[in-house]
């Protein structure tokens, strides 16, 4: 026995009522219902026809007997049909006030047919004919008048008809039972074949949960289950890509963190060694340089950790998206960029644009482009900022600087994580700013581009879908 909450009982119940078993039972039940309806209908139609044929035949023979010539036998006249009625009970009923006084004349070689008030009414002229079932003798009885005060009565056993119906019922039952068994076998085969992809999916899910192996499942056919397998493979590919990105991010972050941490450790060890008793003191200039170096490395670590957190936060589900006024997003980013841009000027031209997305993510992306342009622009230079629609359901945010530009071989790589061109290696930064821009654009269904500005600097572009504001 298992308790109600025992998982063993749940698993046993799941196996007992598995999908394969339900498909088999459904197929068998459908066929059983169809066979039962067809068999009952066929039986009722045949039964009605057989009994109708029995009645028609009995009435026809009774009419023939009533119209047959009289013959003399034992000084009495009786219908000639008495001489050809081997499969019937036939007799001539003479009228009387009641059944007890009625006289039935019948052939000596057979038994008299049953009669009652219905037949007596025909003999008395009160009814033109009578047709009924006599349950005591299990026969159909018909009576027709043959003259004044007389009626001929015929009775035929329903035994042969019932035997035929019983044989028909047995045949229908056997054929129906065989059909149900065949349907159950066919349902089992169909369920086993049709659910094989589901079994593969189940095995693959169990394999992923057990081993973390994200290999795709072979797809065969083009039905719904094949599409389900393809969807599952797509999900596995997405999970594999996500894991690979996570591993690459951790590896890149570890590589980038190693340099400032090593430098911090070296500088701290120098400060600690100089503070020990008997150690030669550091010059004031060296101490100031070490402290400034430590401060700069801490700032670099802080920015790097912040960018890593931003990249992780941008993987949040799209359900948090809302209506975004892109013009307002760019203006907020410009306000923040101006406060730390120093002597850099901004030439701004913005047109309204609306999309569905994450305000903070898009603002951080635009701010990263502005900070990047400020970093590479010389003092008193101008950074050009443009927001305008392209007329194809998208708009672009363009940020151009007055710096040295980007080498042709670096253009395809500037949005990669931790990639820094040779000109940027000596400048502060984590190497994640443009990667955050690319991630934000792609998350909103857009794209990013890097090219040379007409004035000679770098031109960074974000292209986003939406509608005019």
pLDDT digits (tens, 9 = 90+) for 355-379: 998 888 888 889 889 988 888 888 8
Number of structural domains (the chain) is 3
Together in a domain, 154 and 27: yes
Mean pLDDT of 223-227: 76
Which of 56-65, 147-156, 324-333, 408-417 shows the lowest mean pLDDT across its residues?
408-417
- Cα Rg, the chain, nearest whole Å: 51
- Say how many residues make up the chain: 469
Residue 298: helix, strand or coil by DSSP?
helix
Dihedral of CA 166/168/171/173: which sign?
negative
Q: What is the CATH number of the domain that holds 413?
A: 3.30.565.10
pLDDT digits (tens, 9 = 90+) for 280-308: 877 878 788 888 878 877 876 776 676 66
Stretch (H or E) spanning 230: helix 224-274
Backbone φ and ψ of 382, nearest 5°: -120, 135
Does 184 map to a domain?
no
Q: Is the pTM of this model over 0.85?
A: no
Domain-ending residue, one of 160, 181, 204? 160
Together in a domain, 296 and 356: no
pLDDT exceeds cutoff 50 at 75: no
Does 404 map to a domain?
yes
Q: Tell me the β-bridge partners of 150.
A: 94, 147
* Residues with Cβ within 8 Å of residue 457, at least 6 apart in sequence: 373, 376, 377, 400, 401, 402, 403, 404, 405
Residue 388: helix, strand or coil by DSSP?
strand
pLDDT exceeds cutoff 70 at 84: no
Together in a domain, 310 and 325: no
Segments forming the whole domain that contains residue 156? 18-160
Together in a domain, 460 and 328: yes
**CA dihedral angle for residue 459, residue 464, residue 468, residue 469, rounded to 10 degrees:** -90
Domain-ending residue, one of 255, 281, 315? 315
Q: What is the CATH number of the domain that holds 287?
A: 1.10.287.130
pLDDT digits (tens, 9 = 90+) for 106-151: 777 678 889 888 888 888 888 899 999 998 888 999 999 988 888 8
pLDDT digits (tens, 9 = 90+) for 337-361: 888 777 888 999 999 999 998 888 8
How many helices (H) and strands (E) the chain has is answered by 10, 14
Does 1 map to a domain?
no
Residue 80: helix, strand or coil by DSSP?
helix
Q: What is the CATH number of the domain that holds 135?
A: 3.30.450
pLDDT exceeds cutoff 70 at 336: yes
Together in a domain, 331 and 306: no
Together in a domain, 452 and 328: yes
Q: In the prediction, which pLDDT does 403 show? A: 83
Report yes or no: 2 and 8 within 8 Å, Cβ to Cβ.
Answer: yes
pLDDT exceeds cutoff 70 at 225: yes
Q: Tell me the β-bridge partners of 145.
A: 151
C-alpha span between 310 and 66 (Å, rounded): 110
Together in a domain, 297 and 363: no
Together in a domain, 308 and 352: no
Domain-ending residue, one of 292, 315, 338? 315
Q: In the prediction, which pLDDT does 111 show? A: 83
């Amino acid at each position: 026995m298992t308790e109600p909450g025992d998982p063993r009982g749940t698993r046993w119940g799941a196996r007992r009522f598995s999908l394969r078993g339900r498909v088999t039972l459904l197929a068998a039940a459908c066929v059983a219902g169809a066979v039962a309806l067809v068999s009952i209908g066929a039986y009722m139609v045949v039964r009605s026809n057989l009994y109708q044929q029995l009645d028609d035949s009995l009435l026809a023979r009774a009419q023939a007997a009533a119209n047959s010539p009289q013959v003399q036998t034992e000084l009495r006249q009786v219908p000639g049909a008495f001489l050809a009625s081997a499969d019937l009970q036939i007799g001539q009923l003479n009228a009387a006030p009641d059944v007890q006084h009625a006289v039935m004349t019948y052939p000596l070689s057979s038994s008299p047919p049953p009669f009652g008030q219905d037949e007596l009414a025909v003999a008395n002229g009160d009814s033109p004919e009578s047709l009924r079932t006599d349950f005591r003798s299990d026969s159909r009885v018909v009576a027709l008048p043959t003259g004044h005060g007389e009626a001929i009565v015929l009775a035929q056993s329903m035994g042969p008809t019932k035997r035929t119906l019983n044989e028909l019922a047995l045949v229908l039952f056997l054929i129906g039972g065989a059909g149900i068994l065949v349907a159950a076998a066919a349902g089992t085969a169909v369920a086993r074949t049709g659910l094989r992809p589901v079994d593969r999916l189940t095995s693959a899910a169990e394999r992923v949960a057990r081993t973390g192996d994200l290999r795709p499942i072979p797809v065969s056919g083009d039905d719904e289950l094949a599409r389900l397998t393809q969807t599952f493979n797509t999900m596995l590919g997405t999970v594999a890509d996500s894991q690979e990105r996570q591993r690459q991010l951790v590896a890149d972050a570890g590589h980038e963190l190693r340099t400032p941490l090593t430098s911090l450790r070296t500088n701290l060890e120098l400060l600690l060694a100089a503070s020990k008793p008997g150690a030669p003191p550091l010059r004031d200039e060296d101490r100031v340089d070490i402290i400034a170096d430590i401060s700069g490395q801490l700032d670099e670590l802080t920015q790097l950790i912040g960018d890593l957190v931003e990249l992780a936060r941008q993987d949040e589900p799209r359900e948090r998206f809302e209506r975004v006024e892109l013009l307002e997003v760019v203006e907020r980013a410009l306000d923040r960029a101006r406060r730390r841009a120093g002597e850099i000027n901004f030439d701004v031209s913005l047109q309204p644009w609306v999309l569905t997305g994450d305000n903070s993510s898009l603002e951080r992306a635009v701010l990263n482009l502005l900070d990047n342009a400020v970093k590479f622009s010389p003092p008193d230079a101008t950074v050009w900022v443009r927001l305008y629609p392209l007329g194809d359901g998208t708009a672009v945010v363009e940020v151009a600087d007055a710096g040295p530009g980007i080498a042709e071989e670096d253009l395809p790589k500037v949005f990669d994580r931790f990639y820094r061109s040779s000109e940027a290696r000596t400048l502060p930064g984590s190497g994640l700013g443009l990667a955050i821009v690319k991630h934000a654009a792609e998350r909103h269904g857009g794209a990013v581009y890097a090219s040379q500005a007409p004035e000679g600097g770098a031109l960074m572009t974000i292209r986003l879908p939406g509608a005019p504001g």
